[in-house]
Amino acid sequence: MSRVFIDGREGTTGLLIDERLRGREGMEILTLPDETRKDPKARRDALHAADFAVLCLPDGAARESAALAEGSNCRILDASTAHRTAPGWVYGFPELNAGQAALIAGADRLAVPGCHAVGYIALVSPLVQSGVLTPGAALACFSITGYTGGGKTLIATYEQNRQPGDMLCKPRPYALGLTHKHLPEMTRWSGLANPPVFTPILGDFDRGMLVTVPLVMDADALYRCLAAHYEDTAVAVRRGEDGTGLDPAAYRGRDDMEILVFGHDKQALLCARFDNLGKGSSGLAVQCLELMMG
């Protein structure tokens, strides 16, 4: 019987992970009552009683939980930003390279990727690994996402407080100061020396994500490189065709990812499409937990 403690299960990611794990054979979910769920001693006791802990917390609280777990046998998966580039933490994108799934399976400390970041890394890292892109390449990236990635407050704003005609009803670029919190991991795990010029865009839909990287390169060559990298994985690579548009929410409720390559011999658009709460959050955390459990 594996004991799993979800620290921060009251948030969007934690609730989805709890929902997906609860009732599974061979698994016990450890919980704390509301009055002690933020108490350091109670959290420490739960961490030391657990075989696995999934941290669904703000960065500071996630660092605190990791420290509270020291001296235990608990293996930690952190869904916050806190440890995604930290030494000693394994990055939780199994399809990153041929050996990453094995590293995840043996990890004691694992960082679950950010949603925008995993889409960008999925598009760019194989090109750097194969030499198609040099580490010094300067890239741009834009990403449209559903509002559930912003947590309970943003979800309530969209679903309860907005009025017809509000700015919330329109796509909204944000993080315009170019300091989005996913940039460090986008840089580290893409293999590039510099962060992309990154524009995230918030859409008026609950779940879904479409991450796009434009390149002045031959689209067919990029397709062949990406298709070879993701052969026999849960990431499907397809040659896209021009049409009436691309639905960013088409993978809502799914845990896999689709990569589409558009363009011609001089220019290309690389698009990663997935659910921001699936392959971009709770679904990816569960995938990594399953690898760690064997």
Two tokens at 178? 């170019």
Helix and strand counts by DSSP (H, E) for the chain:
9, 13
Whether the Cβ atoms of residue 5 and residue 78 lie closer than 8 Å to each other: no
Nearest to 148 by CA among 138, 133, 158, 135: 158
What's the N-to-C CA distance of the chain in angstroms? 13
Using H for helix, E for strand and C for coil, what is the string for 74-126? CEEEECCCCCCCCCCCEECCCCCCCCHHHHHHCCCEEECCCHHHHHHHHHHHH
Strand partners, 101: none
Q: Which residue is catalytic, options 56, 74, 115, 271?
A: 115
Give Cα 33 distance to the centre of its chain.
28
For the question of residue 225 being annotated catalytic, the response is: no
Two tokens at 19? 């929902």
DSSP class of residue 167 equals: G
List, by residue number, the catalytic residues. Answer: 115
